[in-house]
Amino acid sequence: MSYNLLKGKKGIIFGALDEKSIAWKTALRCHEEGAELLLTNAPVAMRMGEINKLAELVNAPVIPCDVTSNEDVKNLIIKAKEHFGGGVDFILHSIGMSVNMRKGKSYTEIDYGFNAKTLDISATSLHRVLAVAMKENAINEWGSVVALTYIAAQRVFPNYNEMADAKSLLESVARSFGYYYAVDKKVRINTISQSPVRTTAGSGVKGFEGFINYAEKMSPLGNASAEDCANYCITLFSDLTKMVTMQNLFHDGGFSSTGVSEQVIEMMEK
C-alpha cells in the first residue's frame, strides 16, 4: 500500500547487496512511495550483479562507491547532484562489515588493522558521506539521513565482535553530525536500531540462528522484519517526522525494553 509519502523526493540508497538486504527492501518501499532514487554499493559488491535487478525495478542509476574512499564518496555526491539537478532529500546508510569476524578473530584478540578497516567501513563512512554532502551542499533543507545500527552498541552480545564498537561510533557520529547539520541546514540524522534479520551481513555473526531465535522470544511483538524496517525508514524520510533528529530509534518489537519474557522463563524452567 502506498501513501505517497515521498512524492517529489530524491534519495540515495547505500548497501543493497541482494534481495535480502534491508537497503533493497527500503529502495522498493521508497519507490512505491513516489521517490526518485540513486543506488550505490562497493565496486566489489556490484560484481555480483544483483543490484542491476533492483535498479530496473526502481528505475534508478547505479554508481559504485567504496565508502572508505574520499574520492569515491566525492564522485558519488557530485554525480548524484548532476543526476537529480540539485540536492537530495534523504540518504540511507545501510553498510556494515566486520573484518575480524570474517577472518575468524575473536574480540579479545582482534587485529587492529582489521579493526580500523571495520570502523572505517561501518561508522566513519557516515561521517565521510555527511562531510562531503555538507561541503557540496548536496542535501536539501529538511533532508533526512538514516543509518542502521544494532543494540550491541549498548549491551554485550558475544561474537558481535568489534561491530559493537563500530555501532557505538556510528550512533555517536549520527548524534554529533546531527547537531551541526541541523543548525546548518535543518537536516536531520538518526539511527535505527533494528532487530536481527537473515541477511548476508547478519548471518556472518557466529551463532546467528541462536541470536535471532532468542530475540524473537524476547520481543513482545516478535522480531521486526526487513520489510518492517523499510516501512520505518520511509516514515523517517517523510515530512511527518521533521522534528526527529540525533536519535537512536529502537525498531525491535520491544526487545530493548524487555528484561525477560515469559517464553524465555518457560524455556529456562525446563
Ligand X SMILES: NC(=O)c1ccc[n+]([C@@H]2O[C@H](COP(=O)([O-])OP(=O)(O)OC[C@H]3O[C@@H](n4cnc5c(N)ncnc54)[C@H](O)[C@@H]3O)[C@@H](O)[C@H]2O)c1
Query: How many whole angstroms separate alpha carbon 46 and alpha carbon 62?
Result: 9
CB-CB contact of 151 with 256 (8 Å): yes
Nearer to ligand X, 6 or 42 (CB): 42
Stretch that binds ligand X, among 75-83, 84-92, 100-108, 144-152 (CB under 6 A): 144-152
Minimum CB separation from ligand X for residue 41, in Å? 5
Helix (H, G, I), strand (E, B) or coil at 147: strand
Nearer to ligand X, 41 or 140 (CB): 41
Interaction between residue 97 and ligand X (CB under 6 A): yes
Q: How far is CA 239 from CA 8, 27, 179, 199, 236, in A?
A: 12, 18, 19, 29, 8
Burial 77-106 (b: 16+ CB within 10 A, else e): beebbebbeebbbbbbbbbbbbbbbeeebe
Minimum CB separation from ligand X for residue 165, in Å? 13
The Cβ-side half-sphere exposure at 7, using a 13 Å CA radius, reads: 4
101: closest CA among 47, 157, 160? 160
Interaction between residue 218 and ligand X (CB under 6 A): no
Interaction between residue 153 and ligand X (CB under 6 A): no
Interaction between residue 39 and ligand X (CB under 6 A): no
Interaction between residue 201 and ligand X (CB under 6 A): yes
Among 27, 37, 54, 67, binds ligand X (CB under 6 A): 67
Residue 194: strand pairing partners: 251
Among 26, 94, 115, 144, binds ligand X (CB under 6 A): 94
**Interface with ligand X by CB under 6 A: which residues?**
15, 17, 21-23, 41-42, 45, 66-68, 94-97, 121, 148-150, 194, 196-197, 199-202
